[in-house]
Chains A and B, each alone.
Chain A
Amino acid sequence: MSEISRIHLLHAAMVAALVICWFVLPVYHAGNLARIMVFAIYAMGYNLLFGYTGLLSLGHALFFGAGMYGLGLAMHLGGVSAGPGILAGLIAALVVSGIVGFLALRTTGVAFMIVTLMFAQAGYLAVLLFGTYTRGDEGFVLPQATRALLGVDLSDAQNRYFAALLLFSAVLFFIGWLVRTPFGRCLVAIRENEERARMLGYDITRHKLMAVIMSGTISGLSGAAYCLLFGSAQAAFVAVPYSIFPLLYVLLGGMGTTLGPFVGTLFMFYLIDWSGGNMMVAGFVLVALALFAPAGILGEVRRRLITWLP
Chain B
Amino acid sequence: MEFGPHLMLATLEGAITAAILALTAVGLSLTFGVMRVVNVAHGEFFMLGAVAAWFISTAIGGHPALGFIAAVVFAPLIIGLLAASADWLVLKRLEYDPERTIVATIGLLYIIQQGALIGFGPNAQPVEAPFSHRIALPWFEWGESGFEMYYPWGLSTNSYKLFIIFAACAILMGLWVIMTRTKIGLVMRATQQDRDMATAFGIPVERVYALTFGLGAALAALGAVLIVPVQQAYYLMGHDPLLLSFIVVIIGGLGSLRGTVLAALLIGMSDGIISVFFSPTLAKIIATLLVAMVLVFRPQGLFGKGTH
Asked whether any CB of A lies within 8 Å of a CB of B in the complex, the reply is: yes
Residues 239-256 of chain B, each 1 if its beta carbon lies under 8 Å from chain A, else 0: 100010011001000100
In the bound complex, residues from chain B placing their C-beta under 8 Å from that of A118 are 247, 288-289, 291-292, 295
Contact status B250-A294, CB under 8 Å: no
Contact status A107-B109, CB under 8 Å: no
In the bound complex, residues from chain A placing their C-beta under 8 Å from that of B247 are 114, 118
A166 at the B interface (CB under 8 A): no
How many residues belonging to A are interface residues under a CB distance threshold of 8 Å? 40
A282 at the B interface (CB under 8 A): yes
Contact status A282-B295, CB under 8 Å: no
A289→B94 CA distance, assembly (Å) = 11
Q: Given B115, B296, B307, which contacts A280 in the complex, CB threshold below 8 Å?
A: B115
Interface residues, chain B, with chain A CB atoms under 8 Å away? 38, 90, 93-94, 97, 99-104, 106-115, 118, 239, 243, 246-247, 250, 254, 279, 281-282, 284-285, 288-289, 291-293, 295-297, 299-300, 307-308
Contact status B296-A103, CB under 8 Å: yes
Contact status B110-A240, CB under 8 Å: no
In the bound complex, residues from chain B placing their C-beta under 8 Å from that of A122 are 285, 288-289, 292
Contact status B111-A284, CB under 8 Å: yes
Contact status A114-B110, CB under 8 Å: no
A242 at the B interface (CB under 8 A): no
Contact status A125-B93, CB under 8 Å: no
A-B contact pairs, 14 of them (CB 8 A): A104-B296, A106-B297, A114-B250, A114-B291, A114-B295, A118-B289, A122-B289, A129-B282, A247-B102, A279-B113, A280-B114, A283-B111, A283-B112, A286-B110
Contact status B285-A129, CB under 8 Å: yes
Contact status A244-B292, CB under 8 Å: no
A109→B104 CA distance, assembly (Å) = 19
In the bound complex, residues from chain A placing their C-beta under 8 Å from that of B102 are 56, 247, 251
Contact status A129-B90, CB under 8 Å: no
Residues 36-74 of chain A, each 1 if its beta carbon lies under 8 Å from chain B, else 0: 000000000000000000001000000000000000000
Interface residues, chain A, with chain B CB atoms under 8 Å away? 56, 103-104, 106-111, 113-115, 117-119, 121-122, 125-126, 128-129, 240, 244, 247-248, 251, 255, 278-280, 282-287, 289-291, 294
In the bound complex, residues from chain A placing their C-beta under 8 Å from that of B94 are 290-291, 294
CB distance from B132 to the nearest CB of A (A): 33
Which residue from chain B places its CB closest to the CB of A100 in the assembled complex? B292
CB distance from B245 to the nearest CB of A (A): 11
